[in-house]
Amino acid sequence: MLNHWRTLIDLDFLKEEPMTLQQLRYLVATADHGSFSGAASHLLLAQPSVSEQVRALEGELGVALFVRAGRRLQPTEAGRTMLRHARRVLAAVDDAQRAVAEVREVLTGTVSLGIFGTASYYLLADVIEQFRRRYPGVRVRLVGENSAQVADDVRAGRIEAGLVFLPIDDDGLTVRPIRQDQALYASTRLARVREPATIERLVEVPLVLAFATHGSRDPTRRQLAERAQRAGLVLAPTIEVEELDAALDIAARGLADTVVSATVAALPWFPKGLGTVAFADPLYETFAIVTRRETVPSPAVAALLRIAERTLAGGSTAG
């Protein structure tokens, strides 16, 4: 007999209809519009479809979810409680659908990112490797020679986002700093690197600096020029080149001194004859992600930026 009753109980349980997302959407729409007809119009459905599903939900829960107040339906206490949970559930479902849609959109196409000229020294290959492993169907295009150019391209809408050194002109841009790297003074004259460097020393010695095309707009050169200006001095490099490698080669030959980041100075191929020293007033090169203000990057670019931010921030060399 006990087994008989257990079987009947199990069969009754199986007859119950499970709560559905459709019922929750109809419930929320009815509450928002104050009637089954208003909800049905909003959902582009027939009125009976909405009312039947809400009534079915009430039957399943064993409580009334709405009462009529004049011409409108008002949620009961149970209805208000159910609505709070229903809205959270539907919001979570919508978030999940958006996330999947973003992944789907990232799966193919080309992602373009602006980068400064020496970005390849800063774990950039690690960023690309992680991105390609996760999204093998996406082509990656890295463009740019200098932070000033990257900022201009993002501002003009030619690219969606970029990695830059600060400072830059941030008009129309959203700037998110992610890492600092200390700038060092480099010279083959060991006497010049025994003590912390000063802007006065840079003004006095022959100096070779990279990124000639952008000149004073280059972020590091811009910081040096501002320091010289505050000291009542003018910083004028003796030699200007485009590539950092060329500047280091010239400096290694003893033709001029230069300024280089701590990350580059620690690389295995850094010229052995070049000694380095920090500035007396520490000078930092700050990495940042820039996007166009009041715009949202595409899913593919957003995915690449997340990987870049996580990877580069983890490699901080701030003093």
Lowest mean pLDDT among 49-63, 89-103, 156-170: 89-103
Q: Give whole-number Cα distances, 237 to 135, 210, 215, 222, in Å.
A: 44, 10, 10, 13
Band of pLDDT at residue 4, cut at 50, 70 and 90: very low
- Tell me, yes or no, whether 53 and 195 share the same domain: no
Higher-pLDDT residue of 11, 117? 117
pLDDT of 172 above 90: yes
The owner of tokens 């700038």 is 183
Is the domain of 127 the same as that of 99? Answer: no
Per-residue pLDDT for 103 more than 70?
Answer: no
Q: Does one domain contain both 183 and 243?
A: yes
pLDDT tier, 143 (very low <50, low <70, confident <90, very high otherwise): confident
Report whether pLDDT(124) > 90.
no
Rounded Cα–Cα distance for residues 215 and 271 (Å): 24
Query: Are 194 and 116 in a shared domain?
Result: yes
Band the pLDDT of 101: cuts 50, 70, 90.
Answer: low
Residue span of the structural domain in which 58 resides: 2-105
pLDDT tens digit sequence for 280-310: 999 998 989 999 998 888 888 988 999 999 8
Residues 239 and 133 in one domain: yes
Instruction: Tell whether 22 and 152 lie within a shared domain.
Output: no
Any domain includes 200? yes
Mean pLDDT of all residues in 239-257:
95
In angstroms, rounded to a whole number, what is the distance separating the alpha carbons of residues 191 and 199? Answer: 16
Each residue of 12-56: pLDDT tens digit? 433 455 788 889 999 999 999 999 999 999 989 889 988 999 999
Examine the domain organization and report whether 40 and 176 are in the same domain.
no
The region of weakest confidence among 104-108, 109-113, 191-195 is 104-108
Q: Beta strand pairing status for 138-143 and 109-114?
A: parallel
Check residue 69 and give left, alpha or beta (phi > 0: left; psi -120 to 50: alpha).
beta
Residue 205 neighbours by CB distance under 10 Å: 14
User: Which pTM was predicted?
Assistant: 0.62
The residue with tokens 């463009």 is: 143
CATH at 92: 1.10.10.10
Which of 105, 120, 151 is a domain's end point? Answer: 105
State whether 201 and 255 are in the same domain: yes
Mean pLDDT of the chain, nearest integer: 87
- Choosing from 105, 121, 140, the residue where a domain stops is 105
Q: What is the pLDDT of residue 114?
A: 92
Residue 318 covered by a domain: no
Compute the distance between CA of residue 56 and CA of residue 15 in angstroms, rounded to an integer. 13
